[in-house]
Chain A
Amino acid sequence: MDKIRLTDAQLKVLLMYIEQKGFSDPAIQLEILDHLACKVEEVLSSEQISLEEAVKKAHKSFGVAGFRPLAKSYSRHIYSKFNTWLPGALSSILFSVKILLPILAAIAGIGLYKQIYTGQIAFSFFTNPLNLLFGIGVLTEAFLLIKYWPEMRSIYYQGVSRRAVAGSFLWLFICINSMEMLHLLGHGLASATIGVLSFSFVLYLQVKYQYVNYCLPEIKAKKAMTDQLKIAS
């Protein structure tokens, strides 16, 4: 029998089958899809059975654990790849002009403001550079959170979210220790709570943005392929 090549509609059936088995991440789906499709094509080339029966037979040949070992191995591989990539990415973001320049400008502006308006306690909250940074962090966080909300559940966030939590505690320690005046300590603690989360989350989303767009170009191709297969009739 001639070698069979699955059509887009048939590949869509396989994709739905993989999703039914509990693998909803597009990247993992596409890792599994090609191998499953090759097996299905081999079965259909040698046996006169339906596509559904061929898919079940091919899935059975993966063993008792099914797709799980492949998916688990791929997730671990991505996390490991991310760990290798992360230090360079973080330093390139933290020391980039886009980040450093606004922060330095804000600190300089606050310092100048404080110089001019010394003694006006009502504005003391805003004269503390750290408090202003936290405010910038909150606004940036809100913007990026809205922008990237649909992609939050991807496996690629798992590694970054752990660092965000660890970073939060470190930043809290730094912020509390930098407060000099007692009456500002209350502001500091309140804004530090927001700032801790804001700073970590801003970093977290920026790293994600860099990772998705610059470090793993295949992700886009995979997402496009998944979308294309899902709308195939």
Chain B
Amino acid sequence: MEPNKIIKGSLSTVILQLLQNNGKMYGYEITKAVRDGSKGAMQITEAALYPSLHRLEADGLLDTETLIADGRLRKYYKLNRAGKKAVVLQSDALQEAIKSLQRVLKFKLKHG
């Protein structure tokens, strides 16, 4: 299975964690961070990224700030107080899910 399909279900956690690590980021910067951080193994499409960002903003976890950068308007996303709480919970849940998956992948039925 491609890594992108695995990351799809954890996209909001990935976005929140990136914002936790890097402060405020804009859309393109987030896609580049995922691509560069995974050394090209994973990529987020715009069709997946922006709905997730808007959903997180609607859920009250992100604040936005529109600034002029490089001669054009750029919307930056950053965690607010509720977002900082959520990132810890979601990150822990993802770590737990990864550990459980690893256990399942190593599991062998005992016969007899």
- How near does chain A come to B34, taking the closest CB pair, in angstroms? 14
Verify B28–A69 contact, CB threshold 8 A: no
Which residue from chain B places its CB closest to the CB of A232 in the assembled complex?
B71
- How near does chain B come to A68, taking the closest CB pair, in angstroms? 8
- How near does chain B come to A198, taking the closest CB pair, in angstroms? 34
Quick one: which of B54, B68, B71 contacts A7, CB cutoff 8 A?
A: B71
Which residue from chain B places its CB closest to the CB of A62 in the assembled complex?
B46
With A69-B46, A73-B54, A74-B54: A30-B73 Cβ-Cβ less than 8 Å? yes
Cα distance, A37 to B68, chains bound together (Å) = 13
**Interface of chain B residues 5 through 57 with chain A (CB within 8 A):** 26-29, 45-47, 50-51, 54, 57
Verify B45–A63 contact, CB threshold 8 A: yes
Which residue from chain A places its CB closest to the CB of B45 in the assembled complex?
A63
Verify A37–B45 contact, CB threshold 8 A: no
Cα distance, A73 to B51, chains bound together (Å) = 5
Q: Is A33 an interface residue (CB 8 A)?
A: yes
Cα distance, A222 to B69, chains bound together (Å) = 13
The 8 A CB mask of A25-36 against B (1 = contact, 0 = none) is: 000001101110
Quick one: which of A11, A63, A69, A84 contacts B72, CB cutoff 8 A?
A: A11
With A63-B47, A74-B50: A34-B74 Cβ-Cβ less than 8 Å? yes
Cα distance, A11 to B68, chains bound together (Å) = 13
Verify A69–B71 contact, CB threshold 8 A: no
Instruction: Using A30-B72, A34-B72, A63-B47 as known contacts, list a sample of 14 further A-B pairs with CB atoms less than 8 Å apart, ordered by residue number in A.
Output: A5-B71, A33-B73, A34-B75, A63-B46, A70-B46, A73-B51, A74-B54, A76-B54, A77-B57, A80-B54, A218-B73, A222-B66, A222-B73, A229-B72
The 8 A CB mask of A1-42 against B (1 = contact, 0 = none) is: 000011110010000000000000000001101110111010
Q: Is A100 an interface residue (CB 8 A)?
A: no
Q: Is B2 an interface residue (CB 8 A)?
A: no
Residues of B within 8 Å of A38, CB to CB, are 28-29
Residues of A within 8 Å of B70, CB to CB, are 5-6, 37, 41
**Interface of chain A residues 59 through 94 with chain B (CB within 8 A):** 62-63, 65, 69-70, 73-74, 76-77, 80-81, 84
Q: Is B109 an interface residue (CB 8 A)?
A: no
- How near does chain B come to A55, taking the closest CB pair, in angstroms? 15
- How near does chain B come to A219, taking the closest CB pair, in angstroms? 10
Q: Is B1 an interface residue (CB 8 A)?
A: no
Verify A69–B66 contact, CB threshold 8 A: no
- List 6 tightest A-B contacts by C-beta distance, closest first: A69-B47, A38-B28, A77-B54, A73-B51, A73-B50, A218-B66
Verify B58–A221 contact, CB threshold 8 A: no
Which residue from chain B places its CB closest to the CB of A34 in the assembled complex?
B74
Can you spell out 12 A-B residue pairs with CB atoms less than 8 angstroms apart? A6-B71, A11-B72, A30-B72, A37-B72, A62-B46, A69-B47, A70-B46, A70-B50, A74-B54, A77-B57, A80-B54, A218-B66
